[in-house]
Amino acid sequence: MTPAIITKLNKFLLTYMPLTEESQVVYLLVEMRKILDHGLIRSYPLIRFYADWSVHTAKDRITPQIGFIMDNIYKEIIEKPLNKISDPAPKLLPFIDMMELRKEMGYFLGEHGLPDGLVNSNANWFSFRSNLANVLADQPILDPCNNIHRFAYKALKNNLVAIVVEYRKEDSTFGEFSVEEEAS
């Protein structure tokens, strides 16, 4: 079954680059996840995570890796005096702009002999990322760690993305924090 999926993905990646539709992004992630599941490959945790997140209305089953990332994001948020940061901090940037996902997808595509134009072209990657952010915007991660109540992406103009985080304050109220990725 896996060779048939790889053949379909190869044709898909050669035909639809850049990915300009949300449905194309979801299809790619789901097919990649199928390959991982058929091969019982335990690596590629971010591909698995984003594939799973993209098909759920809300993500409430949190992996240890995502819990760790969200804890670090929260720590970064509470260290800032304002509710909005214009210059993303080093801990936030890799998750906001999906750099680690891009690397994982590059390894995955290479391992399976698939075209790598998605990850080797900034234009292709930014289009993918923007469409993925659109998919995830209405599908928040709920309670990913003790201090974050809700985490979501937001797509902006020119293929830029932002995150919006609703976090718990010490007085049991909620605060909201957002940060936009800077143009590369």
| Ordered per-residue pLDDT tens for the chain, 184 residues | 578 899 999 999 999 999 999 999 999 999 999 998 887 566 888 898 888 888 887 778 887 777 887 887 787 777 665 444 455 555 667 777 788 899 999 999 999 999 999 999 999 999 999 899 889 888 888 888 888 888 888 777 877 777 888 887 776 667 676 666 554 4
Closest CA to 137 of 167, 161, 158: 161
Per-position b or e across 150-170, b if 16+ CB within 10 A of its CB: bbbbbbeeebbbbbebbbbee
Closest CA to 69 of 40, 94, 50: 94
Say if pTM beats, i.e. exceeds, 0.85: no
Tell me phi and psi for residue 6, to 5 degrees.
-65, -40
* Structural contact between residues 165 and 77, judged by C-beta atoms closer than 8 angstroms: yes
Cα–Cα distance, 134 to 143 (Å, whole number): 20
